[in-house]
Amino acid sequence: MNCIITIDIGTTKVKVSAFDEATNLIGWRQGTYPTFHPQPDYSEQDPEQIYLTVLYALKSLLNDELTKKHHPVAVVFGASMHSILPIDKHGVPLRNAVIWADNRGRDEANALKNSEEGKVIYEQTGTPLHPMSPLVKIRWFRNHTPATWFEKVYKFISIKEYIIYQLTGQLVVDQSIASSTGLFNIHSLKWDSLALDYAGIKPQHLSEPVPIDFAELKFKKEYVRLFRLSSATKVIVGASDGCFATVGAGVVTEGNATITIGSSGAMRVAGKQMIQDSQQRFFNYILTEGKYISGGPTNNGGVVFEWFVQQFGASGVHLDMERTVKQLLIEAERVPAGAGGLLFLPYLLGERAPLWNANARGAYIGVNITHERRHFIRATVEGIIYEMFSIGKLLQQYRSIENLYINGAYATLPLFAQILSDVFGKTVYVNDKHDSASAGAALLALTHLGVFSDLEAAAQTIRSVETYQANAAHHAQYTRFAEIFDRLSYKLAEDFDALVALQG
């Protein structure tokens, strides 16, 4: 029997999965790697660590007895967006990769966003002008590194491109990842000249952009032998995790939205037109030509709850994250909606949509003498979801949204899912593919192989297995809290700036 292998390179881990031709999960392996914060606002990862983790997880999965009974006909790649890695002409990294959560380029981003040049760049690229953007990161390198170092850079690539290069020897970037760089013109499907001029680079400093179903890649001979693959196995460049998560949720037509809460989070819609927002609050990424995934990302998803777990969830050096998360959520379930009037602003990593404020910071507000740990747990969950609701309210100014389809390690937890339904006042659907990003990658491969006529037909095979209905009383209460949440998020902007100056 044939199978599809998907490689999802996330923020904290790589997950390698095997799917049969009916998109049933056969098996999976994962490996983790750290993020380094050498200074405040810095977030970096070692590309070699990630590469070795990919090799370990892929080899481990292919050695599984169940997987051995299937013949891999395609390998497809997905990854988180906005990483940037400078390499020399031999493909050797010149430093660690800078990932999406890095905020060191806030000054460059603010100056560009408030300029006429910045408005044109946003209209051409669809990527908000924020420190997350590789466009801004490269400009930061230009401004803060010696010219002699900058001249050594052969190309600026993403972590995904680096992994593919190591496995194949080829440097290409899919249009989905390219359209998240702030350097790619999503209308002409070419690198944007104005953005390149701002960054101080030329097209040859970037990889060749290709469609997400590009399959002219070939594993190096040593990896064909190591993984026991056929030389005929298709190697498909794939897309970003956000685009794949949308496809894997079954949302590729208008009228519905998907919410992902993993380490970070996002709310996305699909459409034939990009969202033109004068305040530059939404991203617009290419899925396929003429099909855009638009929406808003948050820095502060599951990573915030994991921070709470690490600080307040358990004592001792041995922390079972999954077990402790479940224990804390049981405590939170015993607290009524609204956490007893305790409100949490979850901006531990600054914030992207809808604030686009790298200086935003976290805060518990409304604390009184009756509040216990369980109230703080529930307030933390609710704060993460209020932030998602802030994105959703703005998104619904541009698109009609009837139903919500959720995915990600945290959004699909029962308490998170029910609060999402209550806060939005909408029915929430959980599909039968809990890892929607990997499922979306498998659907792309199966479409490329001719099993499905197109991605819309492939997405229609996704079925919902759980639904959550909104509690009207809870929705009314949450609406009032969400209004206070929004006011505080903007009202405290000046104080956030002052605190960041002190922290720095």
Work out whether the CA dihedral 79, 247, 414, 479 comes out positive or negative. Answer: positive
What was the pLDDT predicted at 204? 98
- For the chain, how far is it from start to end, CA to CA, in angstroms? 57
pLDDT band at 315 (very low <50, low <70, confident <90, very high): low
What was the pLDDT predicted at 433? 80
What was the pLDDT predicted at 504? 76
User: Which of 355, 250, 352, 257 lies closest to 300, judged by CA?
Assistant: 352
Output DSSP code: residue 203: G
| Residue matched to tokens 């800078």 | 98
User: Which of 168, 219, 173 lies closest to 62, judged by CA?
Assistant: 219
Q: Is the confidence at residue 375, as pLDDT, over 70?
A: yes
Tell me how crowded residue 29 is: count the other CB atoms within 10 A of its CB: 19
Strands 208-210 and 172-174: parallel
What counts of helices (H) and strands (E) characterise the chain?
A: 19, 22
- At 70, is the secondary structure helix, strand, or coil? coil
The tokens for 281 are 């609050």
The tokens for 135 are 């466009």
What was the pLDDT predicted at 84? 98
pLDDT tens string 98-115: 999 999 999 999 999 999
- At 387, is the secondary structure helix, strand, or coil? helix
The answer to whether the beta carbons of residues 455 and 288 sit under 8 Å apart is yes
Strands 2-9 and 13-19: antiparallel
Separation between Cα atoms, residue 12 and residue 49, nearest integer Å: 11
Separation between Cα atoms, residue 470 and residue 115, nearest integer Å: 43
The tokens for 119 are 């408005």
What was the pLDDT predicted at 316? 54
DSSP string, 334-365: TS-TTGGG-EEE--BTBB-TTT-BTT---EEE
* Strands laid side by side in the 234-240 sheet: 25-32, 13-19, 2-9, 71-79, 234-240
DSSP lists the bridge partners of residue 261 as 265
Separation between Cα atoms, residue 208 and residue 191, nearest integer Å: 9
Model confidence, pTM: 0.91
Work out whether the CA dihedral 320, 322, 327, 332 comes out positive or negative. Answer: positive
Exposed e or buried b for every residue in 145-156, given b needs 16+ CB within 10 A?
Answer: eeeeebeebbbb
- At 143, is the secondary structure helix, strand, or coil? helix
Q: Is the confidence at residue 376, as pLDDT, over 90?
A: yes
pLDDT tens string 147-157: 999 999 999 99
The answer to whether the beta carbons of residues 50 and 163 sit under 8 Å apart is yes
Separation between Cα atoms, residue 1 and residue 27, nearest integer Å: 14
What was the pLDDT predicted at 85? 98
For residue 284, the Cα-to-chain-centroid distance in whole angstroms is 13
In the chain, the percentage of residues whose pLDDT exceeds 90 is 90
What was the pLDDT predicted at 494? 97
User: Which of 132, 122, 128, 135 lies closest to 43, judged by CA?
Assistant: 132
What was the pLDDT predicted at 254? 87
Q: What is the 3-state secondary structure (H, E, C) of 409-465?
A: CCCCCHHHHHHHHHHHCCCEEEECCCCHHHHHHHHHHHHHCCCCCCHHHHHCCCCEE
Q: Is the confidence at residue 317, as pLDDT, over 80?
A: no
Separation between Cα atoms, residue 70 and residue 223, nearest integer Å: 18
User: Which of 81, 88, 137 lies closest to 109, judged by CA?
Assistant: 137
For residue 435, the Cα-to-chain-centroid distance in whole angstroms is 13
Rg (alpha carbons) of the chain, rounded to whole number: 22
| Residue matched to tokens 């209905």 | 469
pLDDT tens string 414-463: 999 999 999 999 999 998 887 899 999 999 999 999 999 999 999 999 99
The answer to whether the beta carbons of residues 359 and 497 sit under 8 Å apart is yes
- The pLDDT of 185-213, averaged and rounded, is 98
Instruction: Report the mean per-residue pLDDT for the chain.
Output: 95
What was the pLDDT predicted at 66? 78
pLDDT tens string 32-91: 999 999 998 899 999 999 999 999 999 999 998 877 889 999 999 999 999 999 999 999
DSSP lists the bridge partners of residue 293 as 270, 285
Task: State the amino acid at position 90 in one-letter form.
Answer: H
- The pLDDT of 390-418, averaged and rounded, is 95
Output DSSP code: residue 207: P
Task: State the amino acid at position 444 in one-letter form.
Answer: L
pLDDT tens string 247-293: 999 998 889 999 999 889 999 999 999 998 989 999 999 999 889 99
Output the CA torsion 186→91→14→10 (10° steps).
Answer: -30
Task: State the amino acid at position 122 in one-letter form.
Answer: Y
Burial classification of residue 364, based on how many CB atoms lie within 10 Å of its CB (0-12 exposed, 13-18 middle, 19 or more buried): middle
- Please enumerate, as own/partner, the contacts of 449-456 that have beta carbons within 8 Å and a separation of 24 or more: 449/73, 449/74, 449/234, 451/21, 455/247, 455/252, 455/287, 455/288, 455/291, 456/252, 456/253
